[in-house]
Structure 1
Amino acid sequence: CRQQYPIYLKGEPSAIFVNSFPKNNGALCPVFKGGFGNHIFQFAYTFGIAKSKNMNILVNEKVNVSIVFKLTVDVRNDSSDCNGFMTRIEKFTAKYDDNLLNFNPEKSFRVQNALQSWKCLHIRRGDMVNMGDNSFNVASLEYLTSAVNYFKDRYQNIIFIVASNGMSWAQRNMPSNISVEFIQHSAVADMVTLATCNHTMAYFGWIGL
């Protein structure tokens, strides 16, 4: 993992960021909320919208994605221009909202909310456990056991790597008949570690294999 770490940090920009956007159209500013994983979703979603509409992206140099990745969008030390942009907010979480793309690209907007892929499986505990409105469900222990067995049945010599902000729960409930390592470093280091794994699954945090 240490050898690959610079790939994900300040090195040569990934090919996905090597696009240059025309300046004659408007700009989009992602509104970053939540943790580092959320920020990546929010930037990626905004990047996709901007590319489809030939727009620029404006990002502050102090936000996580600017610090961790070498972006080739419009990174500024003063992004206050974004404060004057109109705001477009997705209606649903993890569900495709086509209305989010229904705007004039000659104008500039702030793009807000989770902006997570509607095709992405994201299961977590943490703050979800104590929500009283039943907006979200957390996965059962049976689901966790079934997910672990899924990979055990298909691969040999597996080491499960668990990253979570609910580590005590994870340590109590991960099956005991497997090889498992629990990591709890910075959000960036954890994500880099999991990104080097062959497979990942989401549960109370992220599990890499």
Structure 2
Amino acid sequence: MMMFIIYLNMKYFPDRVQMLRELNDEIAPTARYDMAVDYETVGTDDGEKNETVIEKDILILKEEKGVTVEEDNDKEEPKEQPNETTTPEDNANKTTLKTQKRTGKKRNCVCAKFIGGLGNYMFLYASAFGVARKKNMDFIMLKTNSLLKTFQLGADNMRVVANYSLCRGAPTYVETRNCAFDKRIFLMSNKSSFWLYGYFQSYKNFEGSFAELRTQFTFKNAIQKKADTILSDIKQKYVKLTNNTKQTNVTVVGIHIRRGDFVGNNYGYTVATKEYFEKAMRWFNSKYANIAFVVCSNEISWGKKNLRKHNVYFVEKRTREVDMAVLATCDHLISSVGSFSWWASWLSKGTVIYYFPPAKTGSELRNHYSKNYTDYFLSKWIHF
């Protein structure tokens, strides 16, 4: 029998036991798992102390003689969430992954279980890519992963596969905090493949790979074309409204409003206020002339009620991928909270203003960030 003993910090992971069981069932269906707790006090880059797991004890694997776990190379993994932006054009023109030809023996792999929405997927992809690049390893992507239909991915160290057979039985790095950096992620040995399990929402996991990731996160042509058309139409409307003679004189500022399930939640999410958006809009109005504000939201009715002005335009009934492409293509951005807003900000080439703080003081969510949020927000961004 193969036994997995997973050590985790129960202070931050009381709700993750079931998730870890599901992971073990996936990577070793015949395995037996036992839970245990081990703590060590370590320092983080911002000087904060954190009780967390000892890296070497994240996963202890004990194999008893006579029993092995079979790798079912023909069995498909459950399909991940399909992308809503697939078009006949995409189907007719399948993008060939721009992977470079590898030489020599195959490298070990970084494996990640993708969970959540678009922003969560992007953090997991970026972190797996960043760790793999740092460790001189490959990383695994299921061919059903929706990111492949959203972006022009094609890293030279990415393996697109039908299932996780290459990762079965591999040790697992379990994060202790979703939005904070733990440098021990880079201490995992590259002598074997290993799993990353969690959300990994710190840019420091992939800070050394920013340039490559900007190329990776280029939207598919069909998505970008829709975003460009939306923004061109908005500029035309603004020019007509203001009698401005040229679209090139218009500065487009994106606004992302994240509400929905964040409103009234008990976990600790904050929600950007009307006052915040108005203050950020005044700031941009003081810097630029001829501004058109473009709003994308999962609750567009709130935006129409609270931010309706002559130069505010609302993007409605579009997919989340098109919304992100619109926001990323704007000249500047006023972001909200959540991983979707974070990535729209990261992709933006202009000034970014973000809502602060993203978590309520004393909440469970607050525990998942570093002391001063420096592991999460880029220093060049501006917060109100």
Q: TM bucket by the smaller chain?
A: 0.7 to 0.9
* Cα distance in 1 between the residues matched to 2:159 and 2:277: 42
Please tell me whether residue 130 in structure 1 is matched to residue 252 in structure 2: no
Which residue identity lines up with residue 112 of structure 1 in the other structure?
Answer: Y
Q: Tell me which residue corresponds to 2:314.
A: 181
- 1:155-183 deviations in whole A, cap 9, x for unaligned? 22222222221222222222535332323
* Cα distance in 2 between the residues matched to 1:184 and 1:202: 20
Query: CA distance change for structure 1 residues 180 and 25 in 2, over 3 Å: closer, same or farther?
Result: same
- Tell me which of 136, 140, 150 is aligned to 1:58: 140
Alpha-carbon distance, 1:10 to partner: 6.5
Q: Tell me which residue corresponds to 1:94.
A: 179
CA RMSD of aligned residues (A): 3.3
| Gaps in structure 2 of 5+ consecutive residues | 1-89, 205-255, 351-384
- Tell me which of 171, 179, 191 is aligned to 2:324: 191
Alpha-carbon distance, 1:190 to partner: 1.6
Contact 2:263 2:271 in 1 (8 A): yes
Query: CA distance change for structure 1 residues 174 and 84 in 2, over 3 Å: closer, same or farther?
Result: farther
Contact 1:164 1:184 in 2 (8 A): no
**What percent identity do the matched residue pairs reach?**
29
* Cα distance in 2 between the residues matched to 1:50 and 1:161: 37
SS of the residue corresponding to residue 42 of structure 1 reads helix
Report which stretch shifted further, 157-166 or 56-65.
157-166
Q: Tell me which residue corresponds to 2:120.
A: 38
Q: Tell me which residue corresponds to 1:71.
A: 154
Report which stretch shifted further, 27-36 or 75-84.
75-84
Which residue identity lines up with residue 278 of structure 2 in the other structure?
Answer: T
Alpha-carbon distance, 1:43 to partner: 0.4
| Gaps in structure 1 of 5+ consecutive residues | 1-5
State the TM-score, normalizing by the size of structure 2: 0.45
Alpha-carbon distance, 1:148 to partner: 1.6
Query: CA distance change for structure 1 residues 188 and 26 in 2, over 3 Å: closer, same or farther?
Result: same
Q: Tell me which residue corresponds to 1:168.
A: 301
SS of the residue corresponding to residue 137 of structure 1 reads coil
Query: CA distance change for structure 1 residues 26 and 193 in 2, over 3 Å: closer, same or farther?
Result: same
Query: CA distance change for structure 1 residues 160 and 53 in 2, over 3 Å: closer, same or farther?
Result: same
Alpha-carbon distance, 1:118 to partner: 4.8
Query: CA distance change for structure 1 residues 185 and 123 in 2, over 3 Å: closer, same or farther?
Result: closer
Query: CA distance change for structure 1 residues 198 and 83 in 2, over 3 Å: closer, same or farther?
Result: farther
Higher relative contact order (CA 8 A, sep 6+): 1
State the TM-score, normalizing by the size of structure 1: 0.77
* Cα distance in 2 between the residues matched to 1:18 and 1:164: 38
Q: Tell me which residue corresponds to 2:290.
A: 157
Alignment size in residue pairs: 198
Please tell me whether residue 104 in structure 1 is matched to residue 189 in structure 2: yes
Q: Tell me which residue corresponds to 2:82.
A: none
Contact 1:21 1:56 in 2 (8 A): no
Q: Tell me which residue corresponds to 2:246.
A: none
Which residue identity lines up with residue 155 of structure 1 in the other structure?
Answer: Y
Q: Tell me which residue corresponds to 2:281.
A: 148
Larger Rg: 2
